[in-house]
Amino acid sequence: MTMSRQGVQPTEVIDRAAKLRFRWNGKRFSGFEGDTIASALAASGEQIFSRSMKYHRPRGILTADYWDPNLMVQVGDDPNVRAGHRLLESGMDVRSQNAWPSLNRDIKAANSLLGRFLTPGFYYKTFMRPRWLWPTYERVLATFAPGGKIDLDTSHAYHDKRYTHPDVVVAGAGPAGIEAALAASSAGASVMLVSHEHSVGGHLRYSSDAADQAALVELRTALDASDVEVLTDSTVTGRYEDNWLGIVQRNHPIAVERLIKARAKTLVAAPGLIERPYVFEGNDRPGVITSGAARRLVNLWGVKPGERAVVFSANAEGDAAVADLERVGTEIAAVIDGRTGGHISSTRGSSRAVDAVVADGASIDADLLVVAAGWTAPTSLLNMAGDRPVYDPAAARFFPSDPPSNVLATGGLAGDADLDGLRQHGAATGRLAAARAAAVRHRLQARTARALPVEGDEPAWAPDERAPLGRDPHPELYRADTHGMVDMSEDISSKDLVAAAHEGYDSVELAKRYTTATMGPSQGKLETVNTVAAIAEARGETISEVGTTVWRPPYAPLTLGALAGRMFEPVRVSSIHPWHEANNVSVIQAGQWLRPDHYGDPAAEVRNVRRNVGLIDVTPLGKLDLRGPDVPKLLSLLYVNKWMRLGIGRVRYGMMCAEDGVVLDDGVTGRLGEDHYMMSTTSSGAGGVWEWVENWLQTERPDWQVHVTPVTTAYASINVAGPKSRELMGRVCEGVDLDAEAFPYMTVRQATVAGVAGCFMWRIGFTGELSFELHVPAGHGLHVWEALMDAGSDLGVAPFGLEGQRIMRLEKGHFIVGQDTDGLTLGPSTGLGSLIKLDKDDFAGKPELAWAADRSLPMVVAIQPDDPGVVPQEAAQIVRGDTNEILGRITSSRYSPTLNRSICLGQVEPDLAAGGTKVTVLLESGERIGATVIDHHAHFDPAGERLRG
């Protein structure tokens, strides 16, 4: 078989004036604008495009389109490119995949000799002993992994997705699909027509029939004049609930691929039919092609597929291929008619090319065998909509069964007719789709809150009055009297499938898993029905009885890059962040936030807070604004302590437990007004607590009057801490008495700070010092921070970061949820068991906490190593003496600059929780050190005098 470029064809899509140069395996080639990579190579006489997976057999063109399993190539850093579909571009660096050292001489082709031993699943039956050799076997097997190479330096360029809400999406742009789009558009629907191919027209594109060409021109003209949005080189990849569609657009001018997410009111599935290869001995030899491939090569790209052909035809497409071949000068050695009992048995020749075809018992010299053996209905979109297509033996293919009423099939998927019949069915389908879309649109509008009411009543759901398409009889041609390849991507033959079925893997799903048939890149588009047929034959059953595999999304593969689009994972910083950056900050990742960790010397920052006054930016602290008369009930439900009698201006600490009694979050909540509260959460818990609150309100207590607004980033939050904090605050605050008696510990006040109205502040102290936690409207955060720094320069004011705060909170013995507690820590284990009020009516976690109250639980305790200079790492285990028995662990540890010793919090078994207990800590180095549990959490100022000052 030698393919070659012929004279100009009336239907061709190439521009012979535009020559494109490219490289194929390092050598220079050229083609024309409009060529696919494969057509350009074929026109240049290339016969072998890839090597098969298992036996490394040479493979040539089979279908010459997107689904051709033999035309997978590497283009630059892009692996597994469909050369049968991808348009040629100037300068492309195209390489073959799966061949070494070269496509023409491949060492692994020696495997062909081992075929009889490499039966399906052979790898399950060997390589078991010796066990230590398995990793070596595995490495060798893995070298057979097919496919291209990824380049780890490929960058993920961000491409935004598109969201759209058309009335009707038509998947497939053959004559029926185009008519459906035009009819729906004429009926007033907004329509998106999605063509998998580079241009619309479906099979008309490569038909040399004059009437077909006239129809194609007419349809394209009508489309141009219509309001239909046409996407070419795009595929509807998935249909999800309520016609939520994924569409991949491969020819976007900027993006490599773009994902379009469309909510269609109705979906028209018009993907046409995929020509099915035929199974016989030597059916994967280069030179065996489908009738569609022959017609595409001739009519689209002016390529003569061979010099002397045998055509096996069981349908009109095969007959048309004969005419096309003759037109470009291919000698037709024989036409074997599959409708009248003609049959082919095998091809003969080298592994690289067909020399002869055995048909009707005779050997016919030929370098090309064109096969037209029938069709596979690509029912994927219907499967995804829940339909289970039904096999019709008379037509030898599957048909839709009962898809949901907002998914309509037309074209070859729905049945057969002449061109006019297909167009009429398409148009009728478009009108029906538009009518049903109008009803959906009306319903959606009526349900949407809007100023203007919808006009009129909802249109009735249009009945399906389309005249159904017929079904042309077609012989059931799956396998000849010989065995051949069923799955070209996976090198699975019909013999393999029969063997698998006899071995007991005799349902289609088991056979698929055992042999890997249909699991390759074409995902069954070409091979599913032949696979089913082989199993049916082995079982002595019909195709209907065996059934088919479920076609899962995506219909055509799409890149991770297109799916990812732009990741909306922003890095969050507070409005004060520019100041930190200008002042030598060292930042730390804390969830989504970048936060000041320290400004050079955290120990000095601690000493300054203990001596003078410090500022820390605590903006990420979660803040929920709660309003309504039922807020106290909500607080009582979600916190373990009591909330019904919190006075205005008061602040209370609360602990939340999940329904399993495990500590979920903690923080303070203050009452700002009669029905107005502000809840604070941990920084890392801000999002989770908001969801938790909403979940309870929306699903469990929808009758409660509470309005929740997350205001975490609406306020910049600054903690002003240290013995001189009151003096500093006095210099910038207006309208509030800061005196200890007027504004005592655990109260909240609203104030104007540095001229900024609408601030509120609470007197609480995570650091253990006198402190004011100030919440400023976010836009003024930087201003207030700078005002505080200016006003306190003579007081020794200095910023401190998260590390300083962590040291001070540890000195003070405040636990951190998620660090000192974990997914098992029940409320009482924190040492705050007295907070839990089991006499309350109900609250989240109450049953579990009631059980927990009677049990001895692991406890959070403060621990001091006996050697004050040793700081055990966090997560160091507390063990029993010299054994490996785990009795607890260190959860937090630091060196305290205030106490000049190492300090820890940890969790220990109940019997170790008493003050004075000696424990053994296993360091990461393996060394065991002694440590002592102290009898309260606070290493420093246990009476809290500084805090309340």
Partner 1 sequence: MAAIGGRLRRRPPRYSAAALAWKGLRGESWPRVWRDCDLKRSYDAVVIGGGVHGLATAYYLARDHGMTDVAVLDKAYLGSGGSGRNTAIVRSNYLTPEGVAFYDRSVHLYEQMAVELNINVMFSQRGHLTLAHSDASLRTMHWRAEVNKLGGVNSSVIGPDEIKKECPSLDTSDHPRYPIQGALYHPPGGVVRHDAVVWGYARAADHMGVEMHQKTEVTDIVCEGGDGPDGKGAGGRVTGVRTNRGDISTPIVINCTAGWASLISTMAGVRLPITTHPLQAAVTEPVKMFLPTVVVSGSLHVYVSQTDRGELVFGASVDPYANYSVRGSLEFTEGLAGHVLELMPGVSRMRILRQWSGLCDMTPDYSPVMGFTPVDGFLVDVGWGTYGFKAAPVSGEQMAEAAATGRTPKLIEAFALSRFDNGELVGEKGAASVGH
Restricting to residues 372-431, name those near partner 1 by CB under 8 A: 384, 386
Three-state DSSP class for 81? strand
- Alpha-carbon distance 771 to 775, whole Å? 13
Tell which one of 33, 147, 226, 390 touches partner 1 (CB under 8 A).
147
Tell which one of 23, 104, 123, 362 touches partner 1 (CB under 8 A).
123
Measured from the CB atom, the residue of 724 and 889 that comes closer to partner 1 is 889
Element (H, E) at 603: helix 602-611
Buried b (16+ CB within 10 A) or exposed e, 335-364: bbbbeeeebbbbbbbeebbbebbbbeeeeb
**Amino acid of residue 815:** F
Q: Which of 806, 766, 769 is nearest to 895 (CA)?
A: 806
List 94's β-bridge partners, or say none.
Answer: 24, 75
Measured from the CB atom, the residue of 298 and 849 that comes closer to partner 1 is 849
> Is the Cβ–Cβ distance between 167 and 263 less than 8 Å?
no
Work out whether 154 is an interface residue with partner 1 (CB under 8 A).
yes
Angle at the Cα of 692 (from 687 to 696), degrees rounded to 5? 150
- Alpha-carbon distance 818 to 665, whole Å? 8
Measured from the CB atom, the residue of 141 and 714 that comes closer to partner 1 is 141
> Is the Cβ–Cβ distance between 765 and 759 less than 8 Å?
no
Q: Work out the end-to-end distance of the chain between its first and last CA atoms, rounded to an integer number of angstroms.
A: 96
Tell which one of 25, 592, 705, 750 touches partner 1 (CB under 8 A).
592
Of the ranges 137-145, 352-360, 413-421, 766-774, which one interacts with partner 1 (CB under 8 A)?
137-145
Centroid of chain to Cα 295: 38
CB of 807 to partner 1, least distance (A): 14
Residues numbered 18 to 57 that lie near partner 1 (CB under 8 A) are none
Angle at the Cα of 35 (from 32 to 38), degrees rounded to 5? 120
> Is the Cβ–Cβ distance between 889 and 907 less than 8 Å?
yes
Work out whether 103 is an interface residue with partner 1 (CB under 8 A).
no
- Alpha-carbon distance 770 to 729, whole Å? 12
Q: Which residue has the tokens 């990793």?
A: 135
Tell which one of 8, 17, 449, 567 touches partner 1 (CB under 8 A).
567
Measured from the CB atom, the residue of 11 and 522 that comes closer to partner 1 is 522
List 238's β-bridge partners, or say none.
Answer: 246
- Alpha-carbon distance 79 to 95, whole Å? 9
Number of residues located near partner 1, criterion CB under 8 A:
105
368-372 and 288-290: which strand pairing? parallel
- Alpha-carbon distance 402 to 398, whole Å? 13
- Alpha-carbon distance 305 to 37, whole Å? 15
Please tell me the number of Cα atoms within 13 Å of 203 on its side-chain side: 24
Work out whether 163 is an interface residue with partner 1 (CB under 8 A).
no
CB of 351 to partner 1, least distance (A): 20
* Site track for partner 1 across 797-836, x = CB under 8 A: ---------------------xx--xxx------------
> Is the Cβ–Cβ distance between 338 and 332 less than 8 Å?
no
CB of 891 to partner 1, least distance (A): 8
Of the ranges 8-16, 35-43, 844-852, 932-940, which one interacts with partner 1 (CB under 8 A)?
844-852
Residues numbered 852 to 881 that lie near partner 1 (CB under 8 A) are 852, 873-877, 879
Q: Which of 571, 670, 686 is nearest to 620 (CA)?
A: 686
Work out whether 238 is an interface residue with partner 1 (CB under 8 A).
yes
Work out whether 254 is an interface residue with partner 1 (CB under 8 A).
no
> Is the Cβ–Cβ distance between 650 and 746 less than 8 Å?
yes
Measured from the CB atom, the residue of 714 and 886 that comes closer to partner 1 is 886
* Site track for partner 1 across 668-707, x = CB under 8 A: ----------------x-----------------------
Three-state DSSP class for 834? helix
**Amino acid of residue 40:** A
Tell which one of 2, 4, 25, 80 touches partner 1 (CB under 8 A).
80
Residues numbered 493 to 522 that lie near partner 1 (CB under 8 A) are 499, 502-505, 507, 509-510, 513-514, 516, 521
CB of 862 to partner 1, least distance (A): 18
CB of 824 to partner 1, least distance (A): 4
Centroid of chain to Cα 193: 25
Residues numbered 525 to 554 that lie near partner 1 (CB under 8 A) are 552-554
Tell which one of 10, 101, 135, 361 touches partner 1 (CB under 8 A).
135
The two structure tokens encoding residue 444 = 């959606």
Phi, psi (deg, nearest 5) at residue 563: -65, -40
Work out whether 113 is an interface residue with partner 1 (CB under 8 A).
no
Tell which one of 18, 128, 217, 838 touches partner 1 (CB under 8 A).
128
> Is the Cβ–Cβ distance between 344 and 358 less than 8 Å?
yes
Alpha helix ranges (H) inside 207-342? 210-225, 291-301, 316-327
CB of 270 to partner 1, least distance (A): 21
Work out whether 16 is an interface residue with partner 1 (CB under 8 A).
no
Three-state DSSP class for 661? coil
Residues numbered 326 to 355 that lie near partner 1 (CB under 8 A) are none
Q: Which residue has the tokens 């037509």?
A: 395
Of the ranges 102-110, 114-122, 612-620, 773-781, which one interacts with partner 1 (CB under 8 A)?
114-122
Residues numbered 594 to 613 that lie near partner 1 (CB under 8 A) are 594
CB of 236 to partner 1, least distance (A): 11
CB of 688 to partner 1, least distance (A): 13
Measured from the CB atom, the residue of 287 and 685 that comes closer to partner 1 is 685
Detail the DSSP E strand segments found in 739-785: 748-753, 756-762, 771-777
Measured from the CB atom, the residue of 431 and 525 that comes closer to partner 1 is 525
Work out whether 909 is an interface residue with partner 1 (CB under 8 A).
no
Measured from the CB atom, the residue of 279 and 501 that comes closer to partner 1 is 501
> Is the Cβ–Cβ distance between 695 and 844 less than 8 Å?
no
Tell which one of 224, 455, 457, 569 touches partner 1 (CB under 8 A).
569
Work out whether 750 is an interface residue with partner 1 (CB under 8 A).
no
Measured from the CB atom, the residue of 329 and 504 that comes closer to partner 1 is 504
> Is the Cβ–Cβ distance between 632 and 671 less than 8 Å?
no
Work out whether 221 is an interface residue with partner 1 (CB under 8 A).
no
Tell which one of 107, 163, 244, 948 touches partner 1 (CB under 8 A).
244
What CA dihedral angle connects 222, 223, 224 and 226, to 10 degrees?
A: 90
Measured from the CB atom, the residue of 296 and 595 that comes closer to partner 1 is 595
Tell which one of 16, 104, 136, 138 touches partner 1 (CB under 8 A).
138
**Amino acid of residue 282:** G
CB of 85 to partner 1, least distance (A): 13
Tell which one of 884, 916, 925, 943 touches partner 1 (CB under 8 A).
884
Residues numbered 910 to 939 that lie near partner 1 (CB under 8 A) are 922, 924
